[in-house]
Amino acid sequence: MKISEQMLASHTRYKTSYSMIKGKNPGPTVFLTAGVHGNEVASIRAAEQWLKKFRQGDFVISRGKLILVPIFNMAAYKKRTRGKPDLNRTFPKSSGNTAGHPLSKDLFELAEKLRPDWYIDLHEANGLSSVNPKRLGQTLITNPGSKAIPAVRRIVSKMNGSIPDSAKHFTVRLKQKEGSGRTAASRLLHAKAITVETCWSLPLTKRIDYQSRIIHYLLEEARLIDR
């Protein structure tokens, strides 16, 4: 396994680092991003913890490669704000359409070059989706017709099996979101693209734990790490 540190939007004030973690065998490519919204701290912490696990050798990428962006919108994270513009509306909406921000442009160009099999974007949201289906807290979202749907259903079922309070159960949501990284990766790159949303009114340690376990299951589904 080899870990190398690189930069997105390196010549701009938006620059942020990402890690490329390569397994010793060929295999799928997975993008994992957190901090597209700077105030969604549990997803950022979980991504940082996974980077640390790989650096310490607690987990090994057996095959393929992981592109891990722990804090995409660093400027927004420093202020703990969602960020303006909302970077999750700046990804290309159709082929030939360019991204509307240096960060989303750089990340999507990297994705176009590496053609990820999976594109996982970590977020947090309001509410509990199993209590109020209009809310996005505690959901895994993918696009209608996505090849990721079976994996998403398996992960939701595993997560819910370990959460005694059904109000906090995860649900599966199928939707398009124009300008989001997920929909761009699904539509333009045909990646298995998934957004993870924890509910940010739950305790931080709990949310980090949910995010971290979902990352673990996703890396297993993508076969980057062995079960």
Output 38 or 92, the one with its CB closest to Zn ion: 38
Show the tokens assigned to 208. 């980090």
In angstroms, what is the minimal distance from the CB of 180 to Zn ion?
Answer: 9
Q: Which residue reads 């991204």 in tokens?
A: 99
Rounded to whole angstroms, the Cα distance separating 94 from 189 reads 11
Which residues 6+ apart lie within 8 Å of 52 measured at CB? none
Output 61 or 125, the one with its CB closest to Zn ion: 125
In angstroms, what is the minimal distance from the CB of 37 to Zn ion?
Answer: 4
Taking CB under 5 A as the criterion, the residue among 93, 123, 187, 216 binding Zn ion is 123
Rounded to whole angstroms, the Cα distance separating 132 from 100 reads 33
The strand pairing partners of 192, in sequence order, are: 118
| Residue 182 engages Zn ion in binding (rule: CB under 5 A) | no
In angstroms, what is the minimal distance from the CB of 75 to Zn ion?
Answer: 15
Rounded to whole angstroms, the Cα distance separating 84 from 131 reads 30
| Residue 168 engages Zn ion in binding (rule: CB under 5 A) | no
| Residue nearest Zn ion by beta-carbon distance | 123
Alpha helices in the chain (DSSP H): 41-56, 74-79, 102-114, 149-161, 181-189, 204-221
Which residues 6+ apart lie within 8 Å of 157 measured at CB? none
Output 53 or 89, the one with its CB closest to Zn ion: 89
Total residues contacting Zn ion by CB under 5 A comes to 3
Taking CB under 5 A as the criterion, the residue among 22, 37, 93, 169 binding Zn ion is 37
Q: Which residue reads 């994270």 in tokens?
A: 77
In angstroms, what is the minimal distance from the CB of 82 to Zn ion?
Answer: 7
Output 111 or 196, the one with its CB closest to Zn ion: 196
In angstroms, what is the minimal distance from the CB of 40 to Zn ion?
Answer: 5
The interface region with Zn ion, picked from 29-37, 136-144, 153-161, 183-191 by CB under 5 A, is 29-37
Q: What is the number of alpha carbons within 13 Å of residue 97 lying toward its C-beta?
A: 15
Helix (H, G, I), strand (E, B) or coil at 49: helix
In angstroms, what is the minimal distance from the CB of 221 to Zn ion?
Answer: 22
The interface region with Zn ion, picked from 18-26, 121-129, 134-142, 155-163 by CB under 5 A, is 121-129
User: Which residues are at the interface with Zn ion (CB under 5 A)?
Assistant: 37, 40, 123
